[in-house]
Structure 1
Amino acid sequence: MSSNIIICTGGSLGAWALQHMEDSDFYIGADSGALFLVDNGIPPHVAIGDFDSVTAEERERIAANCGEIIPCDPVDKNYTDTELAFRLALSRKPSRIKLLGALGTRFDHALANVHLLALAEAEGVEACILDKHNAISLATSSLVVHQGGYSQVSLLPLTEAVTGITLSGFQYPLQNATLTIGQSLGISNVLAEPTGTVLLTSGKLLVIQSRD
């Protein structure tokens, strides 16, 4: 099974995504995300989706340059192309999943994709969502945050409440704090050291690193 999987899906992709490709040993392209991989000389091991975002010629090019293509009916399916790709990745029991192109103009899709991090957490798989300006991870007990070129770190609860939040290495520390949905207390913190640690007692906490 693969240890590191990269999924490219059909949101906002660009040259920035290529810098995240080096440490993967398995590539999955979802819909037009497969075309992005092919166009950049990275043949996906699997291409999956209804491929309604590509032309017939582009779909043929994807099929000719990937190890396996899994087509899905655009109407008779229960999951988005991104979730299908994510569930496929989880089935391979990886140690880590990077999801690229999961954020874009469709906020409903972007929010649903963020929720996929909870699927990975339930399977004990480290996962993150990356775009040009953000890196999003989910913490349920502890998480080490590296600067990585991001200027800000925000904490947002994915569950109704997250308790026992303790921060070290941050400019604005917290000690045994509670965050509930609707609060902005965790927005726009800054690392004071090269790495910071987030600890929590209960709940699911989104850790969002960002830069303008």
Structure 2
Amino acid sequence: MLSETIGFETGEKTVLRTGTVLSVSGKGLTLEAGGEILAARKAPGCLPDPREDDTVLFVEVEGWGAVVMTVLLSGPEESPRTMSFPGGVHLTSDGEIGMESPRFRGVFSDCSVSARTMTLAGDLLALAGRKISEVGQILERVGEWIFERSGSSVREVEGVDRHVAGATQIVSESVVSVDSESTILSSRDLVKIDGDQVHLG
């Protein structure tokens, strides 16, 4: 199976060795092993990506080349660690996790995210679920358009609910009901109440 994976015939001389990474250039590596300088490449299953001064384990195939299998010891430099996967997916860890991917799709049976600060940004951001809970001291959503659709919706605000807009339009197919201890309608210009029947008092 190994011979099929890295492309050499069974029976050729193979040696498992350790070495130190001297330089990294794209997918190519330069190693120092026992005073010998070798050109190598990273095996697809080698995680994380080797970097300079790392001690690595590699397999050397006579007449074919060297392939780094894994990182044994990290070098002294405290720089971010990166894992690379086929298809242009990269994970970076530097006290925080960064992901670079052409596309991300996650399927979870149960997903919980808790953070002091969370930012979601995208040209198109769609959240779909049977129940979506947003909890925070400050929840800020900014967009040219925000479209929400649901079968029914319940909104509870403990303190003051303040709505500021350039213009507000409420369209209801049946009834709009406002129930409160005190209701104040004020306008600088015009208040218009129009209907087949208008009842006050």
- The structure with the larger Rg is 2
Normalising by the residue count of structure 2, what TM-score does the alignment of the two structures yield?
0.27
Q: Which has the higher contact order (CA 8 A, sep 6+)?
A: 1
Structure with the bigger percentage of helix: 1
Structure with the bigger percentage of strand: 1
